[in-house]
Structure 1
Amino acid sequence: MKTLTDLEMEKISEAAAVVAEKYIFSKVSKKEVQDMELRVEFNQEDGLDVDVEVELFLDELCKADENLADEAAQAALEEIDRQIEKLSE
């Protein structure tokens, strides 16, 4: 696998953020999300390793599943896989 450029990593991170956001807002309304942080880390030392972390700060009355942030991170990782596959073609 080739090493990703900074621009490629930025585009992949943006696509992952969009997917994570769409996933979250498909489960809860925007009014219920007080803040959200998404971190994508790339490590290319021994192949490619990507870590995605989603942190959600929801309204205290929100009845969202406590796994929502993890599910959004998983959706983001799946999008990263799709984006990397496209680059490999």
Structure 2
Amino acid sequence: MSQQTCSGLRGTIALPTRIPALAIYLFSMVFVLVGCSSDSETAMQSPNLSPSVRLTSGPVEGSLNDYRIRVEWAGNDPDGFV
């Protein structure tokens, strides 16, 4: 491991220029272990919910004019796909 020196008023201190690979490995393993939960409540899948759909464009209600309808919609399903 190469060393750098830092000189100050009190003397010279040797500083490492690289962080050891073991420290990086241990630090990353802490994050992996904290992120993995063995709690059975969080592991259970929630029941299927109905999607919500709303019309975002359409004819004006009560209009007597001829018109072409272009219906646009948006959907949201918190637990999957619409």
| Smaller-chain TM-score bracket | under 0.3
More helix by share: 1
Larger Rg: 2
> TM-score, structure 2 length as denominator?
0.27
Higher relative contact order (CA 8 A, sep 6+): 1
